[in-house]
Amino acid sequence: MTVFEQNSMPAGLGDAPARIARTSVPSVSALEVQFPAEVVSAAAERESWRKEVHRPATHTHKWWAQRLGSVFRGILASAVSESEREAVEAYGSALRLPDLVVCDPFAGSGTTLAEAAKLGARVVGRDINPVATLVQRQALARWDRDRLDRAFEAVESRVRAEIDELHRDRHGRPVLYYFWVALASCPRCPAGAEPVELFSRYVFSQHAYPRKYPTARATCPHCHAVVPVDVVEDSTLTCGDCGRTSDIAGPVNRATMTCPRGHSSKVLDALGDRPPVLRMYAKQVLAADGSRVYEPIDDFDLELYAESGRRLARRREELVLPVGSLEGGHNTRQAIRWNYRNWEQFFNARQLYSLGILGAALRDLEPGPEREALIALFSGVLEFNNVFCSFKGEGTGAVRHMFSNHILKPERMPLEAHPWGTPASSGAFSTLYRSRIIRAWEYKRRPHDLVTVSGAPERRFGLSEPLECELGDSRAFSEGSSRAYVGTGSSATVDLPDDSVDLVITDPPFMDNVHYSELADFFHAWLRNLKPFDGYPVDEATTRHPEEVQSADPAEFGRAIGAVWKECARILKPHGLLAFTFHQARIDGWKELVRALETAGLVITAVQPVKAEMSTSTVKSSAADPSNLDSIVVCRLPGHEVPAARSVAEVERRALAGLRECRSAGIKVGYSDVESVVRGSVLALHTLPSNERTVDALAAEADLAVARAAEALGVRSGKEPRAAGRS
């Protein structure tokens, strides 16, 4: 049975799309002069709400800033077209790029590689992080469905019964989720006093839409009975078991806890030098009729958990377990402050044992792309099965994974899920096998794309080639025996010949504190013992690398990204083109970017606004000025550039027109978008051979241009104080 939507099927066999072949990059492309921003952004807007459904091949595993396939299909189609009409036609047709070489030096989850391979191009992907390489390989590799299913069934027959046994209640019913709470001892109370349960409130399960569905479950702070409450009306709970009435509010308020004797102290001070001890207090059971029942923890549950610990101790040497310690960094700082020092501490004993036997079964599979796919699936399951996860609530996916914030944030009320799972589970190996791996397999053998039909984006099959690449090394790629080469390492040094790439299409990191390697080490700690593919760095304790292009320091960011741009200029053919998406609110980031491009010998010929990757991002939506657009920065080698504009007035006019076109596609254009697109457009003039103005002088003009464009569009910054008397 297909996992695709019924209304996405083609209307009939007579609807075969037109085939278009492009074998070279024009001297002036539509990407530079007439990019179809409205058409591409409309498709991207729809994709952004369910990226894992519209582009499942690049979503088999967590990676950060996963870009929109529709945008990169639009970039590729426009880069090989001479006009907007041609670009729109190519975007909605069976476009083929035979023998064109497309390289992505910041390949991430593999969006560029997948979109280019679907168009028949030869692709080279490189990323400095091996976890990203694993994700890219899944996007491109050919999987045999029979072998995939047989491998899954072999793992299931080896581990499922034991994992199920450890996730059941005293009646034998499956336990979907166990609810835990962190404990801390009051520093001012006598030794041996009952520790404080770190609840901010005693409600542990409520609906995602509480005003419509106000009935929730709370735990009694005295006896831990499960108590129904109305989260809209109630401020207290009355326990039906012990008869006591308590405030729904718990003893923790932000970073401060209050013990039963009234002493207040900081939670971190109370923890001392060890991570918090956790107490299990409730569970959600799957009843025989399919309903979900909340019950308190009983002696059977406690003994079953203790048995998990005994099995872990007895069989530790034969299991796959995480190895290594956390290193200091922006994204690990909070976890370390809570005294999480090694990766094993991110899991409780039952999680370690269950995941450990599952990992061992995967480790022992016969080598091949199907084994690698299941290991990637297992690695993805880890983000839903650790003590940094929490309960999202009823009416939605139950498990809030650990990366809902871009830091390793400790959880005071962790949720423990069933790692193998049932059909009613969230974030489990068995359910993600179907929703991630099988969905990706179906997509890869019969890809679909979003194209505009009758003014609205619709899903269409038949536009793209299957994603079934034989992955080779650089030698096989250079000799032509392989269409795809994916490697791990710094893109400041790429093992490709000079003048060998037609298109460099990428999405580089921007100047920020979010170091993906600090987060990816969570997966790497397990993958080291699994060796998913030949060449995976099993002996490296961390995925961090001194040449990472990710820093909040402008000079360091400019140095690192400049080395990559210089290498891109070396491998790019004389008439080739480099294009990348970028969003940077801080003007220092744009200044360093254009300096790095100019130093590398690249000329910016255009900056085009387009829909950014995530409409549902919590991080973005909570910002004072949330971003909805990226800038596509287009570059050529000197002597081959034909800039779309050469003055501040011209680039400002073009930027404003592009922003209005995005708005026409239904994209909300905010102040941050105006700021980034207009600043980038003005600062791009620095790379022109004829430019005589300094970057700082252009930056000053850019700020004036931002103000004019924002006024013309009627947008204002959320950081600006509102005038008195206005709501």
Do 573 and 700 belong to one domain?
yes
Q: What is the pLDDT of residues 671-697, one digit of tens each?
A: 999 999 999 999 999 999 989 999 999
The pTM is what?
Answer: 0.93
- Let me know whether 450 and 590 are in one domain: yes
Residues 241, 220: contact at Cβ < 8 Å? yes
Read off the pLDDT of each residue in 143-151 and give the average, rounded to a whole number. 98
Give the model's pLDDT for residue 623. Answer: 60
**Does any domain span residue 291?**
yes
Note the pLDDT of residue 612. Answer: 85
> Does the structure show a pLDDT above 50 at 630?
yes
Give the pLDDT of residue 7. Answer: 39
The reply to whether 194 and 83 lie within a common domain is no
The verdict on 155 and 290 lying in the same domain is yes
Q: Is the pLDDT of residue 604 over 60?
A: yes
Q: With a cut of 80, say whether residue 417 has pLDDT above it.
A: yes
On whether both 331 and 468 belong to a single domain, the answer is: no
Q: Verify that 193 and 85 share a domain, yes or no.
A: no
Q: Which residues contact 74 (CB under 8 A, 6 or more apart)?
A: 35, 36, 39, 40, 43, 44, 87, 91, 610
- What is the mean pLDDT of the segment spanning 637-655? 87
For 490, list phi and psi in degrees, rounded to 5.
-70, 135
C-alpha span between 130 and 153 (Å, rounded): 28
How many CB atoms within 10 Å of residue 453?
A: 12
* C-alpha to C-alpha distance for 316 and 25, rounded to whole angstroms: 57
Q: Which residues pair with 148 in a beta bridge?
A: none
| Residue 632: its H or E element | strand 629-636
pLDDT tens, residue by residue, 422-476:
999 999 999 999 999 999 999 999 999 999 877 788 999 999 999 999 999 999 9
Angle (CA) 167 168 170, round 5°: 145
Mean pLDDT computed over 170-177: 98
In this structure, are 455 and 593 located in the same domain? Answer: yes
H-run or E-run covering 415: strand 415-417
What pLDDT score does 601 carry? 95
pLDDT tier, 301 (very low <50, low <70, confident <90, very high otherwise): very high
Residues 42 and 177 in one domain: no
Grade residue 550 by pLDDT with cuts at 50, 70 and 90.
Answer: confident
- The domain total for the chain is 2
Q: Which domain holds residue 282?
A: 148-200+250-351+395-417
Q: What is the pLDDT of residues 48-92, one digit of tens each?
A: 999 999 999 999 999 998 899 999 999 999 999 999 999 999 999
Q: Are residues 343 and 463 in the same domain?
A: no
| pLDDT of 14 over the 70 cut | no
Instruction: Indicate whether 114 and 258 sit together in one domain.
Output: no
Same domain for 485 and 504, yes or no, is: yes
**Does residue 304 belong to any structural domain of this protein?**
yes
Lowest mean pLDDT among 210-214, 243-247, 322-326, 619-623: 619-623
Instruction: Please determine, for residue 506, whether its predicted confidence score (pLDDT) is greater than 90.
Output: yes
Q: Verify that 452 and 570 share a domain, yes or no.
A: yes
What percentage of the chain carries pLDDT values higher than 90? 83
Q: In the sheet that 226-230 helps form, which strands lie side by side, from edge to edge?
A: 203-205, 215-219, 226-230
Longest CA pairwise span in the chain (Å): 84
pLDDT of residue 619: 44
Res 617 pLDDT > 50 = no
Q: Which residue spans within 225-291 are E strands per DSSP?
A: 226-230, 236-238, 245-247, 252-253, 256-258, 264-266, 277-286
Task: Give the angle subtended at the CA of 580 by the CAs of 577 and 583, to the nearest 5°.
Answer: 150
Contact 422, 168 (CB under 8 A): no
- β-pair type (501-506, 101-104): parallel
pLDDT score of 6: 33
